[in-house]
Structure 1
Amino acid sequence: MTTRQKTLPTSHVVRYCSELIRLDTTVGRRPERAAAEYVAERLAAAGMEPLMLEGAPGRTNVVARMAGREPQLPPLLVHAHLDVVPADPAGWTVHPFSGEVADGYVWGRGAVDMKDMVAMILDVVTTMHAAGRAPRRDVVLAFVADEEDGGTHGAGWLIEHHRDLFADCDVAIGEVGGFSVATPTGSLYLLETAQKGAFTLELTANGLAGHGSMLNERNAVKALARTVSAIAEHPFPLRLTPTTQEFLDQLGEAFGLSGTADDPERALDAIGEVGRIVGATLRHTATPVALCAGGAPNVVPSQAHARIDCRSVPGHEEEFLDELRRLIPPEVTSSVVPRGGGHENGLDDGLAATISAALLAEDPTARLVPFCMSSATDARHFSRLGIRCFGFVPLRLPPGGDFVSMFHGTDERVAVDSLAFGTRVLSRFLATY
């Protein structure tokens, strides 16, 4: 893009999104306090009494409760994180924290991950309050810190220290899901109903220290390299959960494909980049992310270390661990560092019907499809309370874009029309669920 047509925000949701992006909340560098204050101010103006709760100085979470018309119903939890991943301005068309509105998009870090959802929630609740309307049931709103670094000061901390705020919630919506995928006859809207589990496999190879010029049959670096390679290249078997099976069936129907369960990778090619997300959930994955050994150029170290990022298909965690252990030789020790269990939730008729109706009111071709997420979100924390967690950030995406690359990518941006669409869908959903 050589020139950009800059525009002024024409709606509250666009302004909120732009202003939130300008508040740099890069995880590990900038605290979330300023964004939390921004959110709390607008929630207070919408008649709520927001709580500001800090898991560490400046690592601020905001929790508020919006009263519904039928308070006897279990409350709905709506959660979104305020932090973002780092962004190097050198590679961007615009400054990543400019919040620039141009060419029909809001640009900047967090535009899709996930200050867009924060902005949509703020727009919905402030508009409802101004119109004297209320959601059907009570809605617990949680705007949390630290999701991008595991939620230690955010959702994880909240459920350990303030779980009473969520005790009566039975369903939650958050990231990632709700976005559209174009088909020959309309749009699929992917609803995240499952997530893979995550843990780190720490490996330590033990050997014999010595001079690099000598033969050494107990070389720790060599033993570690063989082990890491064996794990990285291992062909883990296909594991189709009920969620993934349903996704493939509906994908086949929408695109006129047969045998989607027999050759799921081929079927996923039909949906382009989005297929990368679902494709990573067909099997367990074990990805080397760190290696550490030695230092001097002529010394064989006595130990070498590696770290493997492991993602387990929900319901098959023990099988995955057993298979990994079989790949580790006696001279290599291992330990597992849990980072969040996987989960898979059934989509009951009432919830599915309400989400579908909200989508159909804006897109008559909409079709709701469940999918499993390859990575973890704050749902891993809230699900520990027995809450059924779903990924639903409703966005009708413009044609031709690569939405998947926007997550943690360069030139992250969200379409103005998508924000407006999502706000209308979210408003209908809260009013009727």
Structure 2
Amino acid sequence: MTCLLALLLCQPWAAAAEQPVLTEHANKTLEIYRTIVEVDTSKHSGNTPKVARYLAAQLTEAGFPGEDVEVLMKGPFAALVARYRGDGQSADAPILLLGHMDVVEARASDWERPPFELTSDDSYFYGRGTIDNKFGIAQLTATFIRLKRAGFVPTRDLYLVFSGDEESGMSTTRMLAYERPDLAKAAFALNSDAGGGDLDKRGRAVTYNIQAAEKTYATWEITARNPGGHSSRPREDNAIYDLAAAIGRIQRHKFPAKWSEMTLAYFQETGQRLGGELGEAMVRFAYDPGDAEAAARLAREPSYVGTTRTTCVVTMLDAGHAENALPQSATATVNCRIFPGESVADVERALRQVVADDAIAFNLLGDPTESPISELRQDVVAAVGKAVHGRYPGVPLIAYMESGGTDGMHFRKAGIPTWAVSGIFMDPDEMFAHGLNERVPKKAFFDALDHWDIILRELAGPSGNGSARAAAGH
């Protein structure tokens, strides 16, 4: 009995009668998944090089030449680039396969389970990064290993391109997107960090969503300042109170509803299939985006509000300097996800008007990135459709705009069309990425094992690639 098999059998779910016998590929994917989830790769951990080196070792052990597997450093963060060489018979440009190895911070004292240990019950895997994005990293890496061991030789080069700080500064992302001439030659990129299928409450597939655009990510620090003084001599004005008033105004403000042809088509199809009160609101909004009642109903749904408008939310606070002193400053971090067509400057002007206090200082952090929509390619849709319909026949494939931000924004900006096509199918209300007790349905994990294998064989395999090129008009 292998160590891994013994480890699997020690898990509560493994003893269940309905648990299937795991294949070699399932075992390898789960081994990689467990290993990387159990490494804290949040911003200040310094551990993305550890994960990059581990993944590199897995790939070279599977037969990838050492010169084709690179661990690249950018400050304290690491990126991984692994080339799967094509046979040179095709003139098709390479395909990039994107993911990120880092995670957002997780405070163990807040979690019900240890965040950096892969635990499970009858239904779920738990741990920070189980969905965002170590699910994609494990599935892609294991698929490369599976294909290599099966003797698969693609007709075009394939590249794993894993960043190390997508959740913070994206310095490794920018390096990969803008500073690598070999990657810049790619025909397109497929991203594991978004997209995927939606299930309803009964586990029925509603849609499969292909991420073709993302909102602009922008963050401001807003600061109230005050001379301060001794806490025994309170002033009428107070930096914390002034900031609190500004925060309350931001909380109550709703940016106007926005839409594009893509988002309206998404709501029409999703609403018709979802049904119920929420589905009805989606359809009403799709046919009349000026329907204020329907827009307000969608705005109450965390899973969908970002698709209807720009959103700004306060995410961090820093105030005061001593318990017995009046605060001299108070700062809030305001994170905005900006609908395409609105500029960062427009949003700042709107926030200033909402705050309505000229004494509140605004400081835009970083350099926000605006990226274009990637129009769907027929060959990509056909390949993804084959993978998806093998699991859920007939489910519609719909292009959508991501409310959050991914590495894809930089590759799109660099001129590389990018679509996010994760293998996950789950209820969107169970998406706890960035939150407490992040989890993935075990069924979703095991059902996704063939997803990338099918897509890559279709787009870069000797038989599938020919038909794919013909479908794309090549």
TM surpasses 0.5? yes
Which residue among 43, 47, 72 is the counterpart of 2:59? 43
1:250 aligns with 2:274: no
Which shifted more, 107-116 or 217-226?
217-226
Q: Report if the CA contact (8 A) 1:40-1:62 is conserved.
A: yes
Which residue among 46, 49, 56 is the counterpart of 1:33? 49
TM-score scaled by length of structure 1: 0.84
| Match of residue 62 from structure 1 | 80
| Match of residue 259 from structure 1 | 284
Aligned-pair CA distance for 1:369? 1.9
Q: Distance in 1 between matches of 2:324 and 2:375?
A: 57
1:404 aligns with 2:436: no
Q: Distance in 2 between matches of 1:293 and 1:403?
A: 34
1:329 aligns with 2:345: no
Looking at secondary structure, tell me which structure has more helix per residue: 2
Q: Distance in 2 between matches of 1:268 and 1:290?
A: 22
**Structure 2: which 5+ runs fail to align?**
1-10, 16-20, 460-474
Which shifted more, 220-229 or 383-392?
220-229
| Match of residue 85 from structure 1 | 104
Q: Report if the CA contact (8 A) 1:278-1:371 is conserved.
A: no
| Match of residue 8 from structure 2 | none
Q: Secondary structure at the match of 1:315?
A: coil
Q: Relative to structure 1, is the Cα distance of residues 267 and 297 closer, same or farther in structure 2, using a 3 angstrom cutoff?
A: closer
Count, aligned residues: 420
Q: Distance in 2 between matches of 1:123 and 1:108?
A: 19
What pairs up with 1:3-402 in 2 under 5 angstroms? Answer: 4-6=12-14, 10=23, 11=26, 12-44=28-60, 45-48=62-65, 49-57=68-76, 59-68=77-86, 71-89=90-108, 95-100=114-119, 103=122, 105-152=124-171, 154-159=172-177, 162-174=179-191, 175-182=193-200, 186-206=205-225, 220-256=239-275, 257=280, 258-261=283-286, 262=291, 263-264=294-295, 266=297, 275-295=301-321, 303-317=329-343, 318-327=345-354, 328-338=356-366, 340-343=368-371, 344-397=373-426, 402=429
Q: Secondary structure at the match of 1:283?
A: coil
Deviations 1:255-289, CA, capped at 9 Å, x for gaps: 353413331454688xxxxx523212312122123
Aligned-pair CA distance for 1:250? 0.9
Q: Distance in 2 between matches of 1:278 and 1:122?
A: 31
Q: Relative to structure 1, is the Cα distance of residues 128 and 88 closer, same or farther in structure 2, using a 3 angstrom cutoff?
A: same
CA RMSD of aligned residues (A): 3.2
Q: Distance in 1 between matches of 2:298 and 2:254?
A: 20
Q: Distance in 2 between matches of 1:298 and 1:96?
A: 36
Q: Report if the CA contact (8 A) 1:252-1:267 is conserved.
A: no
1:432 aligns with 2:451: no
Which shifted more, 18-27 or 218-227?
218-227
| Match of residue 272 from structure 1 | none
Q: Relative to structure 1, is the Cα distance of residues 230 and 103 closer, same or farther in structure 2, using a 3 angstrom cutoff?
A: closer
Which shifted more, 300-309 or 143-152?
300-309
Aligned partner letter, 1:128: L
Q: Distance in 1 between matches of 2:375 and 2:231?
A: 57
Q: Relative to structure 1, is the Cα distance of residues 349 and 210 closer, same or farther in structure 2, using a 3 angstrom cutoff?
A: same
Aligned partner letter, 2:390: A
Q: Distance in 2 between matches of 1:100 and 1:206?
A: 46
Aligned partner letter, 2:43: V
Q: Distance in 2 between matches of 1:105 and 1:381?
A: 32
Aligned-pair CA distance for 1:32? 1.7
Q: Relative to structure 1, is the Cα distance of residues 170 and 337 closer, same or farther in structure 2, using a 3 angstrom cutoff?
A: farther
Q: Report if the CA contact (8 A) 2:370-2:413 is conserved.
A: no
Q: Secondary structure at the match of 1:84?
A: coil
Q: Distance in 2 between matches of 1:107 and 1:332?
A: 41
Q: Relative to structure 1, is the Cα distance of residues 244 and 214 closer, same or farther in structure 2, using a 3 angstrom cutoff?
A: same
Aligned partner letter, 1:176: A
Aligned-pair CA distance for 1:75? 1.7
Q: Report if the CA contact (8 A) 1:150-1:339 is conserved.
A: no
Q: Distance in 1 between matches of 2:419 and 2:148?
A: 26
Q: Report if the CA contact (8 A) 1:181-1:189 is conserved.
A: no
Which shifted more, 185-194 or 101-110?
101-110
Q: Distance in 2 between matches of 1:140 and 1:132?
A: 17
| Match of residue 466 from structure 2 | none
Q: Distance in 1 between matches of 2:117 and 2:317?
A: 36
Q: Report if the CA contact (8 A) 2:431-2:438 is conserved.
A: no
Aligned-pair CA distance for 1:36? 1.2
Deviations 1:337-363, CA, capped at 9 Å, x for gaps: 245424333223332233222211232
Q: Secondary structure at the match of 1:289?
A: strand
Q: Distance in 2 between matches of 1:123 and 1:211?
A: 61
Deviations 1:393-425, CA, capped at 9 Å, x for gaps: 11234xx795312x1344434344423332312
Q: Distance in 2 between matches of 1:290 and 1:93?
A: 23
Q: Secondary structure at the match of 2:194?
A: coil
Aligned partner letter, 1:260: F
Which shifted more, 345-354 or 232-241?
345-354
Aligned-pair CA distance for 1:88? 4.4
Aligned-pair CA distance for 1:124? 1.6
Aligned-pair CA distance for 1:432? 1.6
**Structure 1: which 5+ runs fail to align?**
270-274
